[in-house]
Amino acid sequence: MSDNLVTLTIDSQQVTVPAGTTVLEAAASIGIDIPTFCHDPELTKPGACRICVVEIEGVRNLPASCVTAVAEGMVVHTEAPTVVETRKTIIDLLLANHPEDCLTCQKSGDCKLSEYAYRYGVRKPSFEGERHDFPIDDSSPVILRDNNKCILCGKCVRVCEEIQGRSILDFAYRGFNTKVTPALDTDFAQSACVSCGSCVAVCPVGALVEKNMVGVVRPWEVKKVKTTCPYCGCGCNFDLNVKDGKVVGVTSNPASEVNGRHLCVKGRFGYDFIHSPKRLTNPLIRKNGELVEATWDEALGYVARKFSEIKENHGSDALASLSSARCTNEENYLMSKLTRAAFGTNNIDHCARL
């Protein structure tokens, strides 16, 4: 056995993994799903939510599997009675201070808390007491923040700091009053948030959701179509969420080769132009000071004549073209060919040029 490999047993299955692998990762490698709220493979491991606890023979307590490294000969039970009871208690405590609006919650069908409550049969909270009544932050044009649904997993805090390098969000106050908020407990609009939406992508519950999708579509109603962002030359991928033939949103795709789940504000939220009523569907020509609809033959003939006149009177370099990231690669190639071959100039630029 190599010094760099460790063999252990998880739920009666033997697995060999590299040294330093966590129990959570080792279990996942053989198809065993250990629930977790705060864990994310791209972020640091705080071991905070404790829903991923497991039973390890010879260990007195129930360690969190996301921060426990494997050891040679370790025997792990992921669904032992004590483990199940602990997870049920954690879920129970979270539900004790969580809005009971699953029927109308935008995250319904894609919520980890709801999923685990169903998985472990926690139907309603056992504990009564004061509940949070935080104001909903709808100041952002693209993100809706409801701290009443926050389970304090901290993933939004870490992705903002560790991936985006912005550090907009952090924990504030203590005890029952603890919340995740921008500096000085302001709203998103008053913070330095750039609306990249990474916090939305990692939130396991309905505390952070895309504003424009609220009340428009349920997660199970959409068909997801993987595509490439048109806004710049980075080539980021994401999933278009399509309902009834209409794009209703964009969600991250962890399998994206270039960007993973992370997008800029344009990539994640700048899709509204697709179905905008302001988009031109017919060519327009200015006649007598007003733009009027024309046929394609009329419009193309008019433009060709004007280009020819400018080239003849002022030379090729009097012409220039600006292409668009919202066009296909093939369309942009044709624009380049038109400019260089027909116009006879290299005066061409593109909004996505790096």
Q: How many residues are there in the chain?
A: 354
Alpha carbon distance 145, 136 (integer Å): 6
Q: What's the pLDDT at 234? A: 81
How sure is the predictor about 2, in pLDDT bands with cuts at 50, 70 and 90? Answer: low
Alpha carbon distance 53, 114 (integer Å): 19
How sure is the predictor about 273, in pLDDT bands with cuts at 50, 70 and 90? Answer: confident
> Tell me, which fold does domain 5-79 have in CATH?
Ubiquitin-like (UB roll) (3.10.20)
Amino acid letter, 189: A
Q: Domain 216-278's class?
A: mainly beta
Residue 168 pLDDT > 50: yes
**Closest of 98, 113, 131, 127 to residue 51, by C-alpha:** 113
Extract the tokens encoding 305.
Answer: 């004549």
Alpha carbon 307 to its chain's center: 45
Q: What's the pLDDT at 352? A: 67
Give burial (CB, 10 Å; 0-12/13-18/19+) of 46.
middle
Q: What's the pLDDT at 235? A: 84
Alpha carbon distance 151, 112 (integer Å): 11
SS (HEC) of 140-207: CCCEEECHHHCCCCCHHHHHHHHHCCCCCEEEECCHHHCEEEEHHHCCHHHCCCCCCCHHHHHCCCCC
Mean pLDDT of 62-91: 97
Tens-place pLDDT, residues 107-152: 999 999 999 999 999 998 998 888 999 999 999 999 999 999 999 9
Averaged confidence pLDDT in the chain: 93
Strand ranges (E), 211-306: 223-228, 237-243, 246-251, 284-287, 290-293
DSSP secondary structure letter of residue 213: G
- Would you list the domain boundaries of the chain? 5-79, 216-278, 284-350
Mean pLDDT of 74-88: 97
Alpha carbon distance 108, 206 (integer Å): 8
Q: What's the pLDDT at 1? A: 47
Using alpha carbons only, what angle is made at residue 85 by residues 84 and 87, rounded to the nearest 5 degrees? 65
Q: What is the residue-wise DSSP string for 88-150?
A: HHHHHHHHTTS---TTT-TTTTS-HHHHHHHHTT--S-S-------PPPB--SSSEEE-GGG-
DSSP secondary structure letter of residue 317: G
Mean pLDDT of 92-101: 93
Tens-place pLDDT, residues 309-347: 999 999 999 999 998 877 777 888 999 999 999 999 999
pTM of the complete model: 0.84
Alpha carbon distance 131, 97 (integer Å): 5
How sure is the predictor about 232, in pLDDT bands with cuts at 50, 70 and 90? Answer: confident
Strands of 75-77's sheet, edge to edge? 13-18, 5-10, 75-77, 55-56
How sure is the predictor about 230, in pLDDT bands with cuts at 50, 70 and 90? Answer: confident
Amino acid letter, 299: A
